[in-house]
A and B are shown apart, each in its own frame.
Chain A
Amino acid sequence: MNGRVRRTRAHWAAWLLFGLPILALAIWAIVDNDRLFFTTFLNSLTLASLYFLVASGFTLVFGLMRNVNLAHGSLYLVGAYVGWVVGDYTDSWLLAVAAGFITAALIGLLMQVVVFRHMQGQDLRQTLVTIGLSIMLADVMLWIFGGEIYTFEPPKWIYGSTVLPIVAKFPTYRISVFVMALAIGLALWWFLARTRVGMMIRAGVDDRGMLAASGVNVQLVFAVTFAIGAGLAGFAGVVGGSALSISPGEDTRYLLASLVVVIVGGMGSVGGAAIGALLIGAAEQFGLAYAPTYSVVFTFVIMVLALAFRPRGLMGKAA
């Protein structure tokens, strides 16, 4: 009992230590320029939504298979490019989104079935393979699509801008990205918490060996998880490509984002990915708005703090 009280006290102290200065800064920023503050806040929500979409697949794959898929950023870019080609050909943004999801999911499935299935339990070797794949994928995409910047045209009904209080105009598309991420997050939660396959995945995250021993075809569960994780990256590619743009190098950006989000949030936890994405998105956008040349430092500081006080991430459990 005594220990518990002490722990809650330490908890509160930590919240006060980091919360108070941030609160003070936020109040100062609102008083100083409320429009800038709230625009930045909305932008950070958009970015956090994108990061969540990419990182949730990454964390799901890691949690279940202990596979650090460093080609996850490449899957994002593959999805974006394929979506762009399909969108250009059919003039349908929804088809582009579907194509991005399906292509990335198929590549993920292929990676799991052809390569990773044969090196179960060899963490480092799997990671090295994903590094090799990411180099080759990046170069092939550079070969095919060149160094140009591509942009999507989202459909009319989410294009344009919405009038909001304080910030006045804000692009509708960015709001819809947030709504999409929310929907995907809820769907993912429903899938993991309420369906049979989701139950198997959660059981696998906790204890792979026990799941296999109770007669479940673990390889099938792995393949499904990998396909969903990779597909989410491809989906995020089209959605993110529409919000911002597609160009070589974006794969690294989203890989870094997923890494930091997952390290901060806790590996294998979708809720942790959401919290991590919100933190990192806010750090990046507020950093860009208030201290442009050091914005990446804020992201880094959050990662360092998380590692220093919660080495397994905010929502992480013991591996």
Chain B
Amino acid sequence: MSAAYWRRAMNIAPSKVATRTLVAPSPVAQTAPDAYAHSDAPRWLKSLWTRLSARHVLVALFVLLYPFIATPFFTYQVGAQALGLGLIALSLTFLGGYGGMVSLAQATVAGLAGYLVAIFGSSSMATISLGWPWWLAVPFAVAIATVFATLVGWLSVRTEGIYTIMITLAIGVAFFYLTQQNYTLFNGFQGFNQVFAPTVLELNFREPVPFYFLALACALAGYFFVKMLVRAPFGVALQGIRDNPRRMHALGYHVNAHRVAAYAVAGLMAAVGGVLMVWYNSRISPGTANVGAMIGILIIAVLGGMKHPIGAFIGAITYVLLQNFAIDAIPGFRERFNLVIGGVFLAIVLFSPDGLLGIWSKLRLHLMKGQSPTSNQRRLQ
């Protein structure tokens, strides 16, 4: 994952887009313009139709039907948790994969948003909590957490590369110790209990299925937001800055402004994820923002792979499943989750720097050995 690695990753991103729109080998794409030229459907609907393929439909059907076929445990503990964690990890994927800045403070931003929801909204600590309604508490919490993320970005863009990880780690750990020491605002070691998701229009978001759909909506919004943003001029400039900041500076781009803006965007996503996670746990304590949590988000992002936004969610599902089931599979390892996840993380970093997505693309290449690989696949090698 050196500079050369990011440069290689950069070469792939735009060409993928280009081949898909230019060649578009799927039959749907070829018939679509003819079949719909006469209809007056809006343009976005047509372009959506041309881009859609079978796997997209399958994944969409699966995530929509999942809560109705799964038990409440799977819907809530596995599904909703993975979506919430995935959204926080997605913010890191955006920063790290497209901005080249690996920030460990994303869990801190999420933790701050969660704390603010508890402080502004209602919890068991009536002396601290202000008891605002959710529609006032949540926007304020998200906004303040985003401002905090922007400040973190402003601080860490003053230095470059590997220093980022150190500075964001230091900020995150300092925040953790602050929440643990401070009783007037963060209620110290105890944190806040009974921070419940609200009931909106007869829909109780504390129930597994509504909460799952809330998390799904946020996660999908984040996913498509990132996909759109990395093709927008801002995203393309950001990827340029990742690969060669000096050249982008010479071209007249304000390098640091783009970087700080990327922190702000990532902070927004992490803050929304943080609100979801505090509702999921219905409590918050310093443990939510400790080093374990910060590294957990990094593990999720690296595990899935930082080359594509979907990696964050694949990583989150793997992480949650490992947390819940792999531990039981090995007798005596019930308490040793950190050892297992640390080992998995180490193996991924050592042997497949592109994460599970990298393994998948290698595997696909291997299976299609008979056919000659396309230029795009050849680049992936």
- Which of B165, B173, B302, B338 has a CB less than 8 Å from the CB of A256? B173
**In the complex, A66→B165 CA distance in Å?**
13
Residues of chain B lying within 8 A (CB to CB) of residue A299: 174
Contact status A256-B295, CB under 8 Å? no
Contact status A128-B338, CB under 8 Å? no
**In the complex, A275→B255 CA distance in Å?**
32
Kindly state whether residue B73 has any CB partner on chain A within 8 Å. Answer: no
Kindly state whether residue B63 has any CB partner on chain A within 8 Å. Answer: no
**In the complex, A293→B184 CA distance in Å?**
8
Residues of chain B lying within 8 A (CB to CB) of residue A252: 173, 290-291
Contact status A256-B174, CB under 8 Å? yes
Kindly state whether residue A193 has any CB partner on chain B within 8 Å. Answer: no
Contact status A128-B167, CB under 8 Å? no
- Which of B162, B291, B335, B341 has a CB less than 8 Å from the CB of A127? B162
Contact status A136-B342, CB under 8 Å? yes
Q: What's the nearest-Cβ distance from chain B to residue A240, in Å?
A: 17
**In the complex, A142→B342 CA distance in Å?**
14
Residues of chain A lying within 8 A (CB to CB) of residue B158: 307-308, 311
Contact status A139-B169, CB under 8 Å? no
Kindly state whether residue A297 has any CB partner on chain B within 8 Å. Answer: yes
**In the complex, A10→B350 CA distance in Å?**
48
Q: What's the nearest-Cβ distance from chain A to residue B177, in Å?
A: 4
Residues of chain A lying within 8 A (CB to CB) of residue B343: 132, 136
Contact status A129-B178, CB under 8 Å? no
Kindly state whether residue B161 has any CB partner on chain A within 8 Å. Answer: yes
Binding site for B on A (CB under 8 A): 66, 68, 70, 115, 121-125, 127-129, 131-133, 135-136, 138-140, 142-143, 252, 255-256, 259-260, 262-263, 267, 292-297, 299-300, 303-304, 307-308, 311-312
Contact status A66-B345, CB under 8 Å? no
Q: What's the nearest-Cβ distance from chain B to residue A75, in Å?
A: 16
Q: What's the nearest-Cβ distance from chain B to residue A185, in Å?
A: 23
Residues of chain A lying within 8 A (CB to CB) of residue B298: 128, 131
Contact status A307-B341, CB under 8 Å? no
Residues of chain B lying within 8 A (CB to CB) of residue A132: 342-343, 345-346, 349
Contact status B182-A293, CB under 8 Å? yes
Contact status A125-B181, CB under 8 Å? no
Contact status B346-A263, CB under 8 Å? no
Residues of chain A lying within 8 A (CB to CB) of residue B353: 125
- Which of B2, B155, B335 has a CB less than 8 Å from the CB of A124? B2
Most B CB atoms within 10 A — which of A125, A129, A142, A255? Answer: A125
Contact status A296-B174, CB under 8 Å? yes
